Structure 1
Amino acid sequence: MINGAHLLLFSRNAEQDRAFFRDVLGFGSVDAGGGWLLFGLPPAELATHPTHGDPTCELYLMCDDVAATVDELRAKGVEITRSVSDENWGLLTAFRLPSGAEIGLYEPKHPRPDGR
């Protein structure tokens, strides 16, 4: 049976983005060899949305308090790229990785599979 998921983040500056996940977000990691870090992630969920365009994947990190998390990230020098918007399913914003990639961040309003 499936017992986990492995997310790939393709980066123009993998070393800086790895340092960001380790040092700024505080994600634990293991070295898979040669400095290739694999990061542990918080509990995850998967949603499948319909599209009329090309199929894509997006990454959103979740938090319990988006305003507090935005303040913490800004205090660490992280660029917040979107104002917080109140969506039907949560409070949404985004931040920039050192490589320039953008990651969504939201405080969910919906029930969560992990019971939180």
Structure 2
Amino acid sequence: MISGAHVILYSQDAEADRVFIRDVLGFPGVDAGGGWLVLKLPPAEVAVHPSDEPPRHEFYLMCDDLDAQLREFRSQGVEITRQVSEQRWGRLTAIRLPSGAELPLYEPLHPTAHGL
């Protein structure tokens, strides 16, 4: 039986990104051995989209109130890298990780599966 999912973010500054995810995003973690921090995610869902492009994977964080979340991030000095855009499926933006990578964030306007 499948008991969970494990997401991997590749980073040019993994330690700084781990600390950011733990301390700024507030995701608790465990030491998987040798100081290797593995962080707990909030409830998740997976969608499979059709594409004519080569296969790829994306990782987005979801929130219930994007404006409130962005205010909190700004108060913590987190860089918002994209203006909020209105999509048919939700309100989309992104934040900057310490490594320089972008992490997309959206407020869904569609039914969600993560609470099932």
TM-score class normalised by the smaller sequence: over 0.9
The offset of 1:60, in angstroms, is 0.4
The offset of 1:107, in angstroms, is 0.5
Deviations 1:20-66 (A, max 9, x none): 01111111000011110110000000011111111111110000100
TM-score by length of 1: 0.95
Is residue 3 of structure 2 the alignment partner of residue 3 of structure 1? Answer: yes
| Aligned 1:37-116 pairs, distance under 5 A | 37-115=37-115
Which residue number corresponds to residue 15 of structure 1?
Answer: 15
The offset of 1:114, in angstroms, is 3.5
For 2:6, give the aligned amino acid: H
**How big is the alpha-carbon RMSD for the aligned residues of Structure 1 and Structure 2?**
1.1
- Taking only the aligned residue pairs, the percentage that are identical comes to 62
* Structure 1, unaligned runs of 5 or more: none
Q: Secondary structure at the match of 1:104?
A: strand
Q: How many residues align structurally?
A: 116
* Structure 2, unaligned runs of 5 or more: none
TM-score by length of 2: 0.95
For 1:6, give the aligned amino acid: H
